């Protein structure tokens, strides 16, 4: 065993989260793609079997109330809330991240235009130019539909782009490509100083990085649940609406599920109180309840320990890569500073596609962001230090 192999063994022995691994269905594969699709929690299969066979199969339509299907979007939202630093009643689950981005950004613009009405437009939407593509596409669509101008901007330069014309700012908490963590408290404060509203995309941070939505006064946030929240392929996303702006949340997608009296079936729209007005149509129950079952893996897990292990894993992986891979063959894109790092390591690497194919054959699953970025996600609940060491070793053996 190499020295780093010994170190990995020691780190795993000391890992207070090590036992959580048994909460997931795992095999000999080293799975470093939990930032794309989280591993299957052991609680999900039985729960879904019951939802399909007993609830749908025998209760049928009665299950909407008797099995709590109707209230699941808010109930599962409250289950996610602690992971993003939100008090109950501010997170609702449903739709895709993309659709929630649309809702949040339109709502943000409408609040800002309402505030700034006297000044007259046109107003601006500032969007993180390095964001996951959907964010940029949606921001463009929202700009077009609300008569705003669109200003794509590097996150670090957002403060200097803010003016009294800025209505809304859409930012990614962790960059999906590089794994860089952006400064949510600082950027949120800057947006507020400009009298604008901020929407944070938490897809790559919730579950691995402390978020603190309430603490920093974030207005709106969205995130997916199939990465570090392990909700399953395409599980529904969530929308956070800060309590203080819920009464002003004016959704562009006013479906019957967000109506004050959804079963009144009245012709006039009247939005529900609270975060329920972020709902749209009939919630996707199988996926939503799979997610709810998956959330049990967080029972009793201290989030500060998750963050500490995430940083220790990525530190250790970077050290192993530095030790095993000859200089100059790969280059970390992920910041070395802890304050700027999410829970993934991105390596610039020639021929990244072929390298990843070989790695996968060798039993290490990461992914590639074209054309030349290898991504390795470290889900602290089920990835071990031994995984990190072995992945780096196999990477070194499978380079071009």
65-124 residues near a copy of itself, rule: CB under 8 A: 69, 95-99, 102
**Contacting residues for 285 by C-beta, under 8 A, at least 6 apart:** 51, 56, 69, 72
Q: For this structure, is 269 an active site residue?
A: no
Q: Which of 174-191 are b and which e, b meaning 16 or more Cβ less than 10 Å from the residue's Cβ?
A: bbbbbbbbbebeebbebb
Candidates 5, 7, 21, 48: give the one binding a copy of itself (CB under 8 A): 48
Among 123, 197, 200, 226, binds a copy of itself (CB under 8 A): 226
State yes or no: residue 234 binds a copy of itself (CB under 8 A): yes
Tokens at 398, concatenated: 């499978």
Asked if 28 is part of the footprint of a copy of itself (rule: CB under 8 A), the reply reads: no
Of the residues 132, 316, 317, 382, which is catalytic?
132
Choice among 15, 175, 201, 284 that is catalytic: 201
Pick between residue 194 and residue 294 the one whose CB is nearest to a copy of itself: 294
Residues 240-269 that bind a copy of itself (CB under 8 A): 251-257, 259, 263-267, 269
Q: Which of residues 353-382 bind a copy of itself (CB under 8 A)?
A: 360, 365, 367, 369-370
* 128 part of the active site: no
CA–CA dist 256, 279 (Å, integer) = 8
- Told to check if 275 binds a copy of itself by CB under 8 A, we report no
Place of tokens 């402390």: 210
Nearer to a copy of itself, 126 or 325 (CB): 126
Q: Is 284 designated active site? A: no
Annotation marks residue 9 as catalytic: no
Nearer to a copy of itself, 56 or 216 (CB): 56
The count of C-alpha atoms lying within 13 angstroms of the C-alpha of 55, restricted to the half-sphere facing its C-beta, is 18
Does position 396 interact with a copy of itself (CB under 8 A)? The reply is no
Residue 168 contacts residue 126 (beta carbons within 8 Å): yes
> What is the four-CA torsion angle of 68, 71, 72, 73, rounded to 10 degrees?
170
Whether 226 is catalytic:
yes
CB of 233 to a copy of itself, least distance (A): 4
In the stretch 276-315, what mask flags binding to a copy of itself with x, by CB under 8 A?
----xxxxxxxxx-x-------------------------
Please, which residue, 16 or 353, has the CB nearer to a copy of itself? Answer: 353
- Minimum gap (Å) between residue 258 Cβ and a copy of itself: 9
Give the alpha-carbon dihedral of 15, 16, 20, 26, to 10 degrees. Answer: 10
- What are residue 144's DSSP bridge partners? none
Does 133 help bind a copy of itself (rule: CB under 8 A)? Answer: yes
Count of chain residues binding a copy of itself (CB under 8 A): 80
Among the listed residues 329, 332, 305, the one whose alpha carbon sits nearest the alpha carbon of residue 317: 332
The helices-and-strands tally (H runs, E runs) of the chain is 12, 13
Residue 344 is a binding residue for a copy of itself (CB under 8 A): no
Among 2, 16, 62, 351, binds a copy of itself (CB under 8 A): 62
Residue 168 touching a copy of itself (CB under 8 A) = no
Task: Look at the block and give the residue holding tokens 């995309």.
Answer: 201
Burial class (CB in 10 A: 0-12, 13-18, 19+), 297: buried
Residue 232 CB, shortest distance to a copy of itself, in Å, is 6
Q: Report helix, strand or coil for 118.
A: helix
Sequence-distant (6+) residues with CB within 8 A of 361 are: none
Q: How far is the CB of 81 from a copy of itself (least distance, A)?
A: 22
The helix/strand/coil state of 175 is coil
Alpha-carbon distance of 155 to 367, in angstroms, equals 24
**Residues annotated catalytic, as ranges:** 132, 201, 226-227, 375
């Amino acid at each position: 065993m190499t020295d780093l192999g010994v170190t990995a063994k020691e780190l795993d022995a000391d890992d207070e989260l090590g036992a959580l691994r048994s909460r997931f269905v795992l095999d000999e594969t080293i799975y470093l793609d939990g930032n794309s699709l989280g591993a299957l929690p052991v609680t999900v299969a039985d729960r879904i079997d019951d939802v399909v066979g007993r609830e749908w199969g025998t209760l049928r339509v009665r299950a909407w109330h008797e099995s709590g299907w109707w209230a699941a979007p808010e109930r599962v939202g409250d289950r996610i809330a602690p992971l993003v630093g939100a008090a109950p009643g501010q997170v609702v689950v449903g739709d895709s991240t993309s659709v929630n981005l649309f809702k949040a950004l339109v709502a943000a613009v409408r609040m800002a235009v309402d505030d700034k009405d006297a000044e007259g437009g046109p107003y601006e939407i500032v969007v993180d130019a390095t964001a996951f593509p959907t964010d940029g596409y949606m921001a463009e669509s929202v700009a077009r539909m609300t008569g705003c101008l669109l200003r794509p901007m590097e996150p670090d330069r957002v403060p200097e782009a803010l003016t009294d014309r800025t209505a809304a700012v859409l930012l990614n908490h962790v960059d999906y490509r590089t794994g860089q963590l952006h400064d949510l408290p600082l950027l949120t404060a800057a947006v507020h100083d400009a009298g604008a509203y901020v929407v944070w995309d938490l897809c790559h941070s919730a579950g691995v990085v402390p978020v603190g939505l309430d603490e920093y006064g974030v207005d709106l946030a969205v995130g997916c649940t199939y990465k570090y929240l392990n909700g399953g392929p395409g599980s529904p996303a969530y929308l956070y609406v800060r309590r203080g702006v819920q009464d002003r949340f004016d959704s562009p997608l006013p479906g019957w599920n967000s109506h004050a009296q959804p079963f009144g079936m009245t012709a006039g729209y009247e939005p529900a109180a609270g975060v329920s007005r972020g709902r749209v149509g009939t919630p996707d129950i199988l996926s939503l309840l799979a997610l709810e079952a998956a959330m049990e893996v967080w029972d009793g897990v201290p989030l500060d320990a998750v963050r500490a292990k995430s940083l220790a894993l990525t530190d250790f992986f970077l050290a192993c890569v530095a030790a095993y891979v000859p200089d100059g063959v790969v280059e970390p894109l992920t910041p070395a500073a802890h304050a700027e790092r999410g829970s993934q390591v991105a390596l610039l690497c020639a021929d990244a596609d072929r390298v990843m194919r070989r790695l996968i054959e060798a039993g290490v699953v990461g992914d590639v962001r074209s054309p030349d970025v290898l991504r390795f996600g470290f889900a602290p609940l089920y990835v071990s230090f031994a995984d990190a060491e072995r992945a780096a070793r196999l990477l070194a053996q499978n380079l071009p």
